[in-house]
Structure 1
Amino acid sequence: MLVEKNVPLQPLNSLHIVAKAQALSRIHSQADVLALLRDPAWAQVPKFVLGGGSNLVLTGDVKPLVLKVEIKGRRLVAETDKVFIVEAGAGEVWHDFVAWTLTQGYAGLENMALIPGTVGAAPVQNIGAYGVELQDRFDSLDAIDLQTGRIFTLNAAQCAFGYRDSIFKHSSTANPEAGQQALGLKDRALIVRVRFALPKLWKPVLGYLDIDKKMAEHGCSQPSAQQLFDWVCEIRRAKLPDPAVIGNAGSFFKNPTVTPEQCTDIIARDPRVVHYVLADGAVKLAAGWLIDACGWRGKSVGQAGVYEKQALVLVNRGSVHGADAATGGEVMTLAKAIQTSVYERFGIMLETEPVVI
């Protein structure tokens, strides 16, 4: 099993922060992982799983062994009266996989088109956009325990999905005195393949302003899955920078959820606040609007900046290939300043989405 030393990570993270992996192994199959775990030189070494690097802020060189997941493959594995079960390797590019499902006649993922990253990273973050989250289309996944080498399968309930959250973002904790124990798989599991349940009786998921505008523009009240896919791509390209041109990690902050009473209080102070009432009665606020209202759009700290077209996105104003790129420290300094500003004005502490290492 080949392990490379001192590997530049700037091309492997979408913020294009300059950093190195002290050691990196490219994982093309399940067997590659098992071979590493059997190797005495690497079995007990701390490990960091890297997918597309699109949800990552590097604050320095990475000391754990980096496992760069490049497992490919797409196929229909089963079907029932209601769904197609479609599987993809963890190293598949998410957007390419979504496009492929549509060409095969399997609709259901189109609202999540153009989300950066890989298939294997999608359950970790429980990605979502325009009214659809990964958990809504999830069937199961296969993963490898990096401590024991055991191969296991998880269903949706076992993944403990939440808003941009899953069991893969939490460490195991135990409090014997309180009789409490929480299972987490952070830094312990490597996802090798993911399966999705895509509905045969498909209907479009609508209800978002940007989608409504596209429907009005095209005079179409019942778009096809391909039309929704195309519209979502157009909307995202108009708002979000291409990571290949301008380094970014997509949405940097989670949209906060507040009680109806908190929302009423905020509306009383600023009636323009963008908000959405959820099914359980809670209210989701648009983090980008809160950041914009605090005057951060277009501002910078060093080479890290807030994108001019979407305040929810932090960008690297330096070169995506050169040494003048923003540092992880600049990105996090900017993020913390934004959090403080929003908290002081609205009483809400924004949570960051990317993994910081």
Structure 2
Amino acid sequence: MIVEPNVPLQAHNSFGIVARAQHLLRVRSEADVRALLADARWRDVPKFVLGGGSNVVITGDIKPLVLKVEIMGRRLVEETPRAWIVEVGAGELWHDTVAWLMDQGWPGLENMALIPGTVGGAPVQNIGAYGVELQDRFESLDGIDLVTGQAFTLDAAQCAFGYRDSVFKHVGRGTNDFGLAGRALITRVRLRLPRPWKPVLGYLDLERKMEEAGVRDPSPRQIFDWVCAIRQAKLPDWRVLGNAGSFFKNPTVTPEQCADIIARDPKVVHYPLPDGSIKLAAGWLIDACGWKGKSMGNAGVYERQALVLVNRGGAAHPATGGEVMTLAKAIQTSVYERFGIRLEPEPVVV
């Protein structure tokens, strides 16, 4: 176990924001965490878990001890007539894992191709795209409680998955309010890939790809390739133009609220949900307020997708976390003033 001092973090966050960790530990096994918690110098200090840095806005140097999760490995745990169960280390890149599973002939995650970040971050955010969320392909995960040092395993119900939400984003405030924000480090995730495989279609972009290709019964590989092409056309590569993907959650409203908005803005993009509520496209709301392509300092709104905030300063003059959050708050104000809706950011702000 080696705790490194004064570590630059620009390469460890997809926005490319310049900041430093006062101290950082590269966690490559569960033993590293156990050794840390057994060391009186580090056991009780505040800690911050960092995966791929694709869902974080860093607003200054990080004073808590940064635990950089780099636990690797992928293996088939079990194969049954109904599913493949695959275990993946939390430090593995998500998209690389999706591509690897495709190569093994174990489909089911193709709709979530090209999502940045690591496998360990996927349950925290309950990542999803094109009709599939992690909770739809989740078996269980292992982790370590950074307060007690105890190892634990959680199933889907215990993770309390919601829309871009989980138990890992909430702070426990009592015996009846269970939350793991700030105290859990995920080490391994097990995925359940259903058999027989069935395509998840229905999104307009995928329907267009099917029409263009003249294919009505696509294979997993075709859907994988289509999703990659769609995302590459709409979203910037964070290695070229720093960003954290979709910056705001799509808000949900009541049918009455939606009808009121439609009466004023008939073109608003909306989707009915099974519970009767209506999901609105946050990108459309932001675009309607005139933000697409606009900048504040070196932070800007991507010209192809208003839901994505970007670092326009590049590596030489990168946006600061303060600039990103100033822009985000200005967008929130505009959307609230026009539509009466409060947009909620997706990334963690530190």
The question of 1:190 aligning with 2:196 is answered: no
Q: CA deviation at 1:148?
A: 1.3
Q: CA deviation at 1:40?
A: 1.2
Cα distance in structure 1, aligned partners of 2:93 and 2:285: 31
Q: TM-score, normalised by structure 1?
A: 0.97
Q: Which amino acid aligns with 2:105?
A: G
CA deviation profile, 1:1-60 (whole Å, cap 9, x unmatched): 111111000000000111000000101111111111111111111110000000000010
- Name the residue aligned to 2:240: 245
CA deviation profile, 1:73-114 (whole Å, cap 9, x unmatched): 001001222111011000000000000111111111000000
**Counterpart secondary structure, 1:173:** coil
Cα distance in structure 2, aligned partners of 1:221 and 1:34: 52
Q: CA deviation at 1:201?
A: 0.9
- Name the residue aligned to 1:94: 94
CA deviation profile, 1:131-161 (whole Å, cap 9, x unmatched): 0000000000000010111111000000000
Cα distance in structure 2, aligned partners of 1:279 and 1:221: 26
Equivalent in 187, 206, 214 of residue 209 of structure 2: 214
CA deviation profile, 1:310-338 (whole Å, cap 9, x unmatched): 00000000123x3x110111100000000
Cα distance in structure 2, aligned partners of 1:44 and 1:127: 31
Q: How many residues align?
A: 350
Q: TM-score, normalised by structure 2?
A: 0.99
Matched ranges for 1:41-190 at <5 A:
41-174=41-174, 181-190=176-185
**Counterpart secondary structure, 1:181:** coil
The question of 1:348 aligning with 2:331 is answered: no
Q: Which amino acid aligns with 1:313?
A: V
**Counterpart secondary structure, 1:330:** helix
Equivalent in 276, 284, 291 of residue 281 of structure 1: 276
Cα distance in structure 2, aligned partners of 1:35 and 1:306: 43
The question of 1:325 aligning with 2:303 is answered: no
The question of 1:315 aligning with 2:310 is answered: yes
Matched ranges for 1:31-46 at <5 A:
31-46=31-46
Q: CA deviation at 1:278?
A: 1.1
Cα distance in structure 2, aligned partners of 1:348 and 1:29: 43
Cα distance in structure 2, aligned partners of 1:182 and 1:334: 33
Q: Which amino acid aligns with 2:226?
A: W
Q: CA deviation at 1:282?
A: 1.1
Q: CA deviation at 1:167?
A: 0.2
Cα distance in structure 2, aligned partners of 1:74 and 1:239: 30
Cα distance in structure 2, aligned partners of 1:78 and 1:40: 40
Equivalent in 307, 311, 330 of residue 337 of structure 1: 330
Cα distance in structure 1, aligned partners of 2:113 and 2:256: 34
Q: CA deviation at 1:200?
A: 1.3
**Counterpart secondary structure, 2:266:** coil
Q: CA deviation at 1:222?
A: 1.4
**Counterpart secondary structure, 2:176:** strand
Cα distance in structure 2, aligned partners of 1:82 and 1:267: 43
Cα distance in structure 1, aligned partners of 2:2 and 2:9: 17
Q: Which amino acid aligns with 2:40?
A: P
**Counterpart secondary structure, 1:215:** helix
Provide the aligned C-alpha RMSD in A: 0.8
Q: Which aligned runs of 4 or more in structure 1 are off by greater than 4 angstroms? A: none
Cα distance in structure 2, aligned partners of 1:107 and 1:281: 31
Gaps of 5+ in 1: 175-179
- Name the residue aligned to 1:177: none
CA deviation profile, 1:208-266 (whole Å, cap 9, x unmatched): 01001000000011111110000000000001000110000000000001111111111
Cα distance in structure 1, aligned partners of 2:104 and 2:201: 22
Cα distance in structure 2, aligned partners of 1:327 and 1:290: 25
Gaps of 5+ in 2: none
Q: CA deviation at 1:181?
A: 2.6
Name the % identity: 74
